[in-house]
Amino acid sequence: MKEITGGVCAAQGFTAAAVHCGVKAGSSPEKDDLALILSQKECTAAAVYTLNRVKAAPIYVTMDHLENGVAWGIVANSGNANACCPQSHENAQKMTEAAAAATGREPEDFVVASTGVIGQTINIAAIEAGMPKVAALLSPEGSDAAAKAIMTTDTVKKEIALSFTVGGKEVKLGAIAKGSGMIHPNMGTMLVFITTDCAITHEMLGDALHEVIAKTFNRVTVDGDTSTNDMCVVLANGMAGNTLVEWKDEDYETFRDALMYVCRHLARAIAGDGEGASKLVTCIMNGARSEESAERLSKAVVGSSLVKAAMFGSDANWGRVLCAMGYSKAPFRPEHVDVSFQSCAGEIMVCKQGDGLPFDEDKAKEILSQKEIIIAVDLHEGDESAECWGCDLTYDYVKINGDYRT
């Protein structure tokens, strides 16, 4: 397994493109806001959606279109969420109709996704006018443009691709994602588009995706808000020519592991690019009785506003870690807990068997001043563990979200 270039166009048969069409009034003409991804062949498809009871129209249209387990492409816009507004379902459907007309496919062949402001009617006329332009630009080099087009408050694009072997054939898998704010377990404001040339059944693709989501994107939290628009979609066109993956055998495990690698990379990238964030914060919970309890404890730590604020201030306030664990509702014995902080600047233990230790405050501050911080906890109760990701809470988070709509 090795990282390669190409993003969603790394796999055989996939092209992508993006253009600026003016979805959001007054937006910069230099910021593309309409992206299109298309396969040369029909793909098996699987998706996971937000668990928010309030779902944007593109979610429902995509659910309908993927009922048969196949798709040909993805159309997505930034600048407007097309959620909780007049004509939202009609306009989501119109996006797929425009994509179909521009590519010679059918509307049902497309996944549709939107991201941006909630509650404002989308400028569908701008998207319809831009669709022939973006379709004309489709190319195997288009992943970079598509990755940038779906960004909203993201500060960096999120893109990755892998090459690996399945059944003696080289298989490629690539992805782009967006996500910065409104991020919380059970999917956050994230759009994740994954493509592969692996030949795999719809059932196996769905099983692999659900296995991976549980240990990657559902372990990310930025601010405790679960969005209306999140989705993670994977398309597999089978052009690698490998023997069809239709059982949970060694080939399935190889594919799932590659998918896990890609999604973990993107999950960490989303956490590290949290709105206003200056640090990626990872909590590794070891020695738990079960993976479920380890995950719940770890999520509580990275989701705590007080922990996040302490990480922003490079303050080794480990008591906030134990406090967050205590209200997680997961079972553990506080008197057995060890806590240490780690980064590229070193490691320092601050708590042993539930009690504070004397430690060098200057060294702790140096460790917590780095871009990536690990909060390492050992429960000393079992052999299970879990890793969750978040970020610090900065002044800029409030600045960004205070006037996001206007």
Catalytic residue list:
189
How far apart CA 227 and CA 216 sit, in angstroms, is 17
CA distance to 189, 209, 296, 301, 319, per residue, from 360 (Å): 39, 44, 30, 23, 16
- Cα–Cα distance measured from residue 105 to residue 253, given in angstroms and rounded to the nearest whole number: 33
Which of these, 146, 197, 156, lies nearest to 176 by C-alpha position?
146
Q: Which residues contact 66 (CB under 8 A, 6 or more apart)?
A: 45, 46, 47, 111, 233
Q: Which residues contact 9 (CB under 8 A, 6 or more apart)?
A: 15, 16, 139, 140, 141, 142, 143, 174, 195
CA terminus-to-terminus distance, the chain = 45
Q: State the Cα–Cα distance between residues 212 and 131, nearest whole angstrom.
A: 33
Give yes or no for a contact between 359 and 348, defined as CB atoms under 8 angstroms apart.
yes
Q: Which amino acid is at 376?
A: A
